[in-house]
Structure 1
């Protein structure tokens, strides 16, 4: 996410720099006296002021409103940023002239992702016109009155309407409670309102904003009463100390980052949210996830910080919208004796209509957090803690104590953190001893501490793909696996003589522990009580430890899974440790469809209530060498696309040249065949245009380095495809025109209709059979299969594009060379080349899970498998040979006897027809 924040910072810098010159100009601003003088007086600036503004140089908050000029999305957070440009003192004491920018930003508008450049894809999603409505920035000038705490500014901006028209916006910006000193109850609220009338196109709905103050904050909640609340806690185990040798408390890890995934666990009495939830709005459902964010860290008071807590009903909802009813704000301090973080938190109440009515209410909530110094199989959480209230059971707002923990490895790198292995003996009993196979040459397997040991996986249950998951090492021997390395591949050993980092014995056996998460697919529903996913509303989490054999690539572990609750939330921390996890990791030298294969099984008896069906796991082994080969493969596929599309243009051009020399053959050309070929070039162009309008920014995309090179080739492919479409459309238009103008051979229309009666039912029957066979194998995916198979079947029809012409020849009994040899043999070659390449790709590259990395021979665009890659080329070649025989020896040489007719449809020479008509009249 570093790149996203970097691009965001660069955007603000460039925008600020470009607008610097005219921010200070009052000439282009609305009148301050007309809109602000009654609220904050105006005065003449005297000198630059060194007094710090209470919001700091830049402050970030939240906003609602502004629907007409920014696309509001309730599923994403919307951030407001106020950046100061300058502060000047004035002739009135306590009144300051200020200038700055107010930016309203919808999240995820700065990501730059490159999709594959195959047909239907589109790159650089942020350049869409719609994304220009993802942010708007106002240049503002005005005054801040320190005594009243009010700010009033006027300014301008440019934006776009929903129809794409450019808008010139005038606005007034007001803030309240901007005092030089603040405390826990201080919230800065305000609004930005349009100065245009509601009927004007430049009018927009008011923005309502909320921010936390930064300047001169006074910590007031670390009172003796609060400390007494924490001194009564029963947990005496000491936590891990923060590593602050080279940095201050404010930058210590992990408190300096947002802890987004703290899973909440409730007591057994918590059936509903009554007396169990710390927030006021939960719609009858207990929140399952807590996000903890540091607002500001004190530089004057030791180990003090301000925090913001957000409660949501699922991890996916953390970034969805802004609702202060689900948030708490508080003050915390780190106890260096017990190595714990203590927080006193307060509710935020009062949001009925806008953010300016929010205020801090009850401050009776307490939180403690510690970093365990020893992790184990049954307790692998790197952060754990509790939330409670100091109210009594009879008081309003009381709730039962809540515990929380995280499955993220946030303590990696901290001094003193250890992992305690406890199940190695069970692993040796459950899994046979695997020793390196002799005489296997130079076959190598990934190092235990390499990035190759971290992988995503597809999960099947009862031969159905039902879920996806991830597997990440937690520790290798005495060392912790660095899961925050940024995804860089570690170099593999160049020879077997190199010594791995952590070796248990001479057989290259490693003690290893894992964090495994499995999420049910959105379109999968499982009601089987013996399913691992039964009653699981969130990700199924498994902690495992065992032995990895670097000589054979085998990984065997015993695991503990978190048990689900039938009420949708975790009730205490209960686990099932009778889980066996196995993986077979392929050699890093393998290049023939390498897959990581694995399984998760229950070691309980089938009649046990905690027994679950076995799961089959698979993941593409995308090692360093394979990654390099994949880049080379995509480069080659781009070249194949360019060559194929160019050849298609050449062969269509040769057919146009052929009909120009022999115009009499045009009426004999199949309109169905010409229509199929034309649609084959048109649909990719339409899909590219559709992707431009509908592409979603949260798609799974492949990010490549040579972005410019890909875009150049993407444009080249589209241009050549456009040329091929225009040439093919011209051929279709000429065929239609010649057929319409050929009044002397009306029987050709009858032949075309008869050919359609045969061709179209064949196509429909083929599609129906394919769908029935596939849906029988994958009954739970019928809606998705219909879409995919329509696309694939369209490619299949293009492969057999000569079939309509063959059938038309049978009914018309033609004798001319309707199609040029270069056209039907050349186009057949272009259509069959992807299948030949797919055979090559299957036997020389690892299978690809991410379909968006396909550039040529895309599976969703045709039928691709070993069988189809043989059958389709043979069929295409057979069709081309039949056309050749028909045009050499007449159509009678191919069809059965009942298709043969004595009528021959030929283009009649006009002069010959006139002579025959005159002779007929003379004879009469």
Structure 2
């Protein structure tokens, strides 16, 4: 039968592949029709083992256009060009090679829409070695910016692709649609995309002649010192030189009031000059004799946090290209920069015709080795023109530097700091004699404890948040890489003895206003730029009493917020006095750093500002380590408690299996409470089974957090086991009521018990809420009162839920009274064991209260105050009541349910189980 159908199957497959546009050879664009006039189609001969094509396997470039298929509003304006290394063929013509390539455009930076607008084109064609032309045709695969599937026929062209290159070698080209802009093919048409790449094939550095090198020597070179790059441990082409050095601030002289004599780039408007310069390496060559680099330099007028991000097009008029070298004798980077010329510099429609010319710009860059309060820039340099001042392209020398918040990590150990305000500090800060042997210790000057975030108040009103961290302690740079987290007490003692407990220290402080509402005329933030203030300070820290006194300087240029983009030479306001008091390391509970920031100028001075009060929570490393140990204990206790809960539930299941007659007498209400007690944590924390949010827990040290994460997942898994066991017990209890002849009477007893239990829980909830709200009101400071009250209702409901779980035996006790039960319904291990599990957190909380500082609820893994009532009184009252209920259950099951009632309240009617052969009957207990 199959053989008879074989011809028909073959005919169907032939027809399918012949007419299906995805597989048909006829559906591919014709190379001859679209590229034959540029490079003739030549039969391939042999596949080349190595890639003889001058472009590397993976290349990137810039583009303009494609708006209809690429979402340029969120585009990087970059394309990727990939040439498979073994898909190059020699042909019958000695200078023509057959090649294959893939070009891709990623038009979005949003990971949630990664596929949208991601286009890939598969291309085949030829390269002419003699003319440098490339022509290829192909089809697309991808999704447009609207989310539609795209099926586009294209022709891809490149020019100037040769086996060698220099500064003038720019590869330009285009990607064009083969569909018509009109008719049925309109939906497949897109406007041409203009492309540009920098050639890297056998690049010849040609701009570093002896004459040019002499242009980088200044008379002031002997006074300047830059960090050397240790090529034994750090390659010239490693970070930061191989990556973008971004957002360097240009500083113009007072003569640069317009672009007339200070325009670095062409096309600047008469009243606006670029404020920032960024450098990005194109290629780096660490040769033995001379370390060379090629760079792309970009100028901008606004802060741009990502290189070439959110730019509508690649604008060559705002860019320079150049090459340079590292001068090891003077420790500086020297660059010769060239302008882009051609029509692309004046219009954004095409990059075709872009050229490189006029290499008259010079740039040199250093990494300063000595910082001071007036200069903490990790990069500084100059850019100038070597033309005469009569030339129209001449501009005056312009300096640039980066912000101190953007340290590039070059030679941190070799950095030095020159203190210049210490005499002023001694005059402004009163020195008090420290009482020896007080038994208190304060943070080590070299530790992470010296960093803190702060709340800033002005006239008793909170106005800003801030952060502060040391730059230098004495001569040691305090980056995250070099700060000592584990300095021993022995080392600290030696330093304190040598320095007498006094340390020279410098700080960087950033303040950001909480709102943009108008400030008082004498407010510090009224004079700030974008309501942000940056202060550099230096002074003395006394580790004997935790006092820090400093003189601060704020950069007035960064604070004035002028609309002109030309930044003049910066000036400083160094009449700022800053005082901070660190709490003792031995302080238990939450401790606070208190301080002030004030101007020492007269009130009539325009730069005077009102005094600021500073407060910060001190979270010391020593306390952090103690809390890590606490977290270890809490996770272990959570594991043990949850495991014990599983064991006790399992013993109860074993008990009812051996005594099935007791199942109907178990309280459904109690089983439901216990089941919900295991289920709700799983529902609220289900994401912990898969991955934990790193932001929902407090700071912990090192890799301990990973250990906690693994064990927390283990707790969740064991909790799920406990929930399944508890749900099984609830299910079989419920089922037993349906099959029991006296089940209807037991349902009536359960209903009566509920009439008592629900009002009891409601009254308990009301009383507990009132007590806890009173406690919260007494303990919350006025600064945070409103915030706490906003969350108190939900927190109190969760806490009361924990209290209900602590008294899980209440429904069973009441049901026993109404049913006059005289059976061993609950196993001793279940009700006493579960009671122990519920009361253990309260015993631990008593221990924790007396041994650890108070923490936010987000840092608790066990005995979380937001999930139960925890205090010294509650921790004593709740266990006592829980034990009392367990004793009542014991007495009821041993002497009868009503044995705990006074004689006059004891009833007569009850429900008991008789042998199964006689069935279930109603009996009377006297």
The TM-score bracket by the shorter chain reads: 0.5 to 0.7
Matched with 1:724 is: 722
Check if 1:794 corresponds to 2:798: yes
Assess, with a 3 A threshold, how the Cα gap between structure 1 residues 720 and 55 changes in structure 2: closer, same or farther.
same
SS at match of 1:513: strand
Choose the corresponding residue for 1:542, options 535, 543, 557. 535
Choose the corresponding residue for 2:509, options 487, 505, 516. 516
Q: Which deviations, in whole Å up to 9, do the C-alpha atoms of 1:454-480 show, x marking residues without a partner?
A: 635343547998866554433344x35
Matched with 1:862 is: 867
SS at match of 1:729: helix
Assess, with a 3 A threshold, how the Cα gap between structure 1 residues 560 and 734 changes in structure 2: closer, same or farther.
farther
Q: CA deviation at 1:173?
A: 9.8
Q: Which deviations, in whole Å up to 9, do the C-alpha atoms of 1:542-565 show, x marking residues without a partner?
A: 211112335555432211234534
Q: Is the 8 A contact 1:289 1:313 kept in 2?
A: yes
Matched with 1:34 is: 28
Choose the corresponding residue for 2:199, options 203, 206, 213. 213
Mean alpha-carbon deviation: is it higher for 426-435 or for 566-575? 566-575
Check if 1:309 corresponds to 2:309: no
SS at match of 1:688: helix
Check if 1:680 corresponds to 2:664: no
- In 2: Cα distance, 1:96 partner to 1:333 partner: 34
- In 2: Cα distance, 1:508 partner to 1:594 partner: 25
Q: Is the 8 A contact 1:184 1:360 kept in 2?
A: yes
Q: Which deviations, in whole Å up to 9, do the C-alpha atoms of 1:595-651 show, x marking residues without a partner?
A: 68353411447967522421113342226xx67666655444432232122122223
Choose the corresponding residue for 2:228, options 243, 263, 269. 243
Q: Which deviations, in whole Å up to 9, do the C-alpha atoms of 1:94-123 show, x marking residues without a partner?
A: 3345578878889999xxxxxxxxxxxxxx
Matched with 2:612 is: 613
Q: Is the 8 A contact 1:436 1:507 kept in 2?
A: no
Report how many aligned residue pairs link the two structures. Answer: 834
Choose the corresponding residue for 1:431, options 429, 449, 452. 429
- In 1: Cα distance, 2:107 partner to 2:840 partner: 45
Choose the corresponding residue for 2:378, options 382, 397, 400. 382
Q: CA deviation at 1:677?
A: 1.4
Q: Is the 8 A contact 1:70 1:134 kept in 2?
A: yes
Q: Is the 8 A contact 1:547 1:555 kept in 2?
A: yes
Check if 1:150 corresponds to 2:146: no
Matched with 2:549 is: 556
Q: Which deviations, in whole Å up to 9, do the C-alpha atoms of 1:850-909 show, x marking residues without a partner?
A: x877544557x5368xxx34244334324414534654479999999xxx9998995576
Q: Is the 8 A contact 2:632 2:708 kept in 1?
A: no
Q: Which has the higher contact order (CA 8 A, sep 6+)?
A: 1
Matched with 2:16 is: none
Q: Which deviations, in whole Å up to 9, do the C-alpha atoms of 1:473-520 show, x marking residues without a partner?
A: 33344x3516263777464363577468xx9x6525332222233456
Alignment of 1:400-415 (within 5 A): 405-407=402-404, 408-410=406-408, 413=411
- In 2: Cα distance, 1:825 partner to 1:268 partner: 85
- In 1: Cα distance, 2:638 partner to 2:268 partner: 55
Assess, with a 3 A threshold, how the Cα gap between structure 1 residues 148 and 60 changes in structure 2: closer, same or farther.
closer
- In 1: Cα distance, 2:257 partner to 2:736 partner: 78
Q: Which deviations, in whole Å up to 9, do the C-alpha atoms of 1:113-154 show, x marking residues without a partner?
A: xxxxxxxxxxxxx9xx99999999999987544435436487
Assess, with a 3 A threshold, how the Cα gap between structure 1 residues 413 and 250 changes in structure 2: closer, same or farther.
closer
- In 1: Cα distance, 2:339 partner to 2:360 partner: 5
Assess, with a 3 A threshold, how the Cα gap between structure 1 residues 140 and 878 changes in structure 2: closer, same or farther.
farther
Return the index of the structure with the highest Cα Rg. 2
Matched with 1:259 is: 245
Q: Is the 8 A contact 1:366 1:387 kept in 2?
A: yes
Check if 1:328 corresponds to 2:319: yes
- In 1: Cα distance, 2:621 partner to 2:839 partner: 29
- In 2: Cα distance, 1:836 partner to 1:287 partner: 66
Mean alpha-carbon deviation: is it higher for 401-410 or for 904-913? 904-913
- In 2: Cα distance, 1:358 partner to 1:654 partner: 85
Alignment of 1:811-850 (within 5 A): 813-814=817-818, 815-816=820-821, 822-834=829-841, 836-837=843-844, 840-841=847-848, 844=851
Matched with 1:662 is: 662
Assess, with a 3 A threshold, how the Cα gap between structure 1 residues 903 and 581 changes in structure 2: closer, same or farther.
farther
- In 2: Cα distance, 1:75 partner to 1:767 partner: 54
- In 2: Cα distance, 1:612 partner to 1:481 partner: 30
Assess, with a 3 A threshold, how the Cα gap between structure 1 residues 763 and 532 changes in structure 2: closer, same or farther.
farther
- In 2: Cα distance, 1:856 partner to 1:240 partner: 56
Q: CA deviation at 1:309?
A: 3.1
SS at match of 1:663: helix
Assess, with a 3 A threshold, how the Cα gap between structure 1 residues 662 and 106 changes in structure 2: closer, same or farther.
farther
Unaligned runs of 5+ in 1: 1-27, 110-125, 196-202, 918-924
Matched with 1:94 is: 95
Check if 1:597 corresponds to 2:598: no
Q: Is the 8 A contact 1:239 1:339 kept in 2?
A: no
Q: Which deviations, in whole Å up to 9, do the C-alpha atoms of 1:680-723 show, x marking residues without a partner?
A: 3432553336858xx69999997854898667645533331210
Q: Is the 8 A contact 2:507 2:538 kept in 1?
A: yes
Assess, with a 3 A threshold, how the Cα gap between structure 1 residues 108 and 216 changes in structure 2: closer, same or farther.
same
Choose the corresponding residue for 2:279, options 292, 303, 319. 292
Assess, with a 3 A threshold, how the Cα gap between structure 1 residues 670 and 409 changes in structure 2: closer, same or farther.
closer
Q: CA deviation at 1:90?
A: 0.6
- In 1: Cα distance, 2:27 partner to 2:302 partner: 48
SS at match of 2:666: helix
Matched with 1:647 is: 644
Alignment of 1:629-648 (within 5 A): 632-648=629-645
Q: Is the 8 A contact 2:97 2:128 kept in 1?
A: yes
Check if 1:580 corresponds to 2:571: no
Q: Is the 8 A contact 1:49 1:89 kept in 2?
A: no
Q: Is the 8 A contact 2:170 2:196 kept in 1?
A: no
RMSD: 6.7
TM-score scaled by length of structure 1: 0.67
Assess, with a 3 A threshold, how the Cα gap between structure 1 residues 554 and 784 changes in structure 2: closer, same or farther.
closer
Q: Is the 8 A contact 1:455 1:472 kept in 2?
A: yes
Matched with 1:22 is: none
Matched with 2:158 is: 176
Matched with 1:877 is: 879
SS at match of 2:645: helix
Assess, with a 3 A threshold, how the Cα gap between structure 1 residues 754 and 548 changes in structure 2: closer, same or farther.
same
Q: Which deviations, in whole Å up to 9, do the C-alpha atoms of 1:203-251 show, x marking residues without a partner?
A: 9x99988754323557899999x999x9999999975446257479954
Matched with 1:4 is: none
Q: Is the 8 A contact 2:81 2:103 kept in 1?
A: yes
Alignment of 1:22-61 (within 5 A): 34-35=28-29, 37-38=31-32, 39=35, 41=41, 43-44=43-44, 46=46, 48=48, 53-60=53-60
Unaligned runs of 5+ in 2: 1-21, 180-187
- In 2: Cα distance, 1:825 partner to 1:131 partner: 56
- In 2: Cα distance, 1:399 partner to 1:812 partner: 97
SS at match of 1:611: coil
Q: Is the 8 A contact 1:543 1:559 kept in 2?
A: yes
- In 1: Cα distance, 2:457 partner to 2:829 partner: 51
Assess, with a 3 A threshold, how the Cα gap between structure 1 residues 730 and 480 changes in structure 2: closer, same or farther.
same
Q: CA deviation at 1:423?
A: 0.9
Alignment of 1:344-355 (within 5 A): none
- In 1: Cα distance, 2:396 partner to 2:748 partner: 87
